[in-house]
Amino acid sequence: MPARLLTHLRHVDLAVPDHAKQLAFYTGTWGLTKVVEDSGLSFLAAEGSPEQYVVRLREAAEKRLDLVSYGAASAADVDTLAERLLAGGVRLITRPDTLDTPGGGYGFRFFDVDGRAIEVCADVAVRRHRTVEEREAVPVRLSHVVLNSPDLDRTRAWYERHLGFALSDTLASPHLGEVMHFMRISSQHHSMAIARGPHTTLHHVSFEMRGIDEYMRASGRVLRAGHRKVWGPGRHLAGDNTFTYFLDPHGNTVEYTTELECLDEDTWHPHVYDFSRPEVTDQWGTANAMNELVAKESFNDPDRGVFIAPPV
């Protein structure tokens, strides 16, 4: 495995046909803060996060995942990674250069093995953020992203080989085999997971809340606003985090979570959990049962942006 040069997940960028409706959901209901908006392009921050933004929304004719962005510790690490990817035959979208997104910085973009656009950047200015208060039900930060892939093991191997991700745990069942790999770039149990799906697309985006009370208050707010709950509230075994999943106005799955496990990377050994056991999917037993209908919600629509670079 190559030396790990990624530090954390920065932001997830979505393209949608109805920008105004999506923006109203993420700011008015989900609890993010609009920091910049310009002609169908908006940048949304989490109040507790030093990241300039954690979600970018772009108006487009077709829904797609525009970009997943990761941080690096320095511009030198950005250059090293770009050279490593080029030598490994990875298709670059841009070469390392100054960024013109909020906070600036230095970075580049490339396609992963499934054709998703990925960005790695460093030296982004820190946003003035604050401590989220008790009972304040807004996201503290972006927690993780889960991606659907038709070839689970190929995608896992690509992220291990090229980006230094490590496997934390796997979900499997006697009937279906392996269906999800949880991948990390730090002691956080996962910054990214790969789910087996019928096509390349976004599975879900997860947002960390201050605590369980704030997580429940936020879940209730989204329910009262009339948005569809897919699954939850409950507590997973892999990662030991709480979960409630909803659909945004364009059918993307979004999650509120808390207390995602931090590992001792020197001693951790990956588990294979049998998700057909109810206590694996939900330790509490409070969520609606995981079944094929729930699973299909996160298959999402086929991504029309595979191996097509976003215009901005």
Same domain, yes or no: 78 and 151: no
Cα separation of 312 and 67, whole Å?
10
Cα separation of 195 and 148, whole Å?
5
pLDDT value at position 1? 65
**Residues forming beta bridges with residue 235, ordered by sequence position:** 242
Provide the number of structural domains found in the chain. Answer: 2
pTM of structure: 0.97
pLDDT value at position 307? 98
- pLDDT, average across residues 208-214: 98
Cα separation of 178 and 252, whole Å?
23
Q: How far is CA 278 from CA 70, 238, 281, 284, 290, in A?
A: 33, 13, 6, 9, 8
Cα separation of 183 and 259, whole Å?
17
Judge whether 212 lies within some domain. Answer: yes
Cα separation of 198 and 246, whole Å?
21
**Per-residue pLDDT at 293 exceeds 90:** no
| pLDDT tens, position by position, 152-176 | 999 999 999 999 999 999 999 999 9
- Across the chain, mean pLDDT equals 97
Judge whether 155 lies within some domain. Answer: yes
| pLDDT tens, position by position, 262-272 | 999 999 999 99
pLDDT band of residue 2 (cuts 50, 70, 90) is confident
| pLDDT tens, position by position, 91-115 | 999 999 999 999 999 999 999 999 9
Boundary residue ending a domain (87, 122, 157): 122
| pLDDT tens, position by position, 27-42 | 999 999 999 999 899 9
Q: Domain containing 198 — which CATH number? A: 3.10.180.10
pLDDT value at position 290? 86
DSSP string computed for 121-187: EE-PPPP---PPPTT--S--EEEEEEEEESSHHHHHHHHHHHH--EEEEEEEETTTEEEEEEEESSS
Same domain, yes or no: 250 and 290: yes
pLDDT value at position 7? 98
Same domain, yes or no: 69 and 176: no
Same domain, yes or no: 114 and 212: no
Range of the domain at 10: 6-122
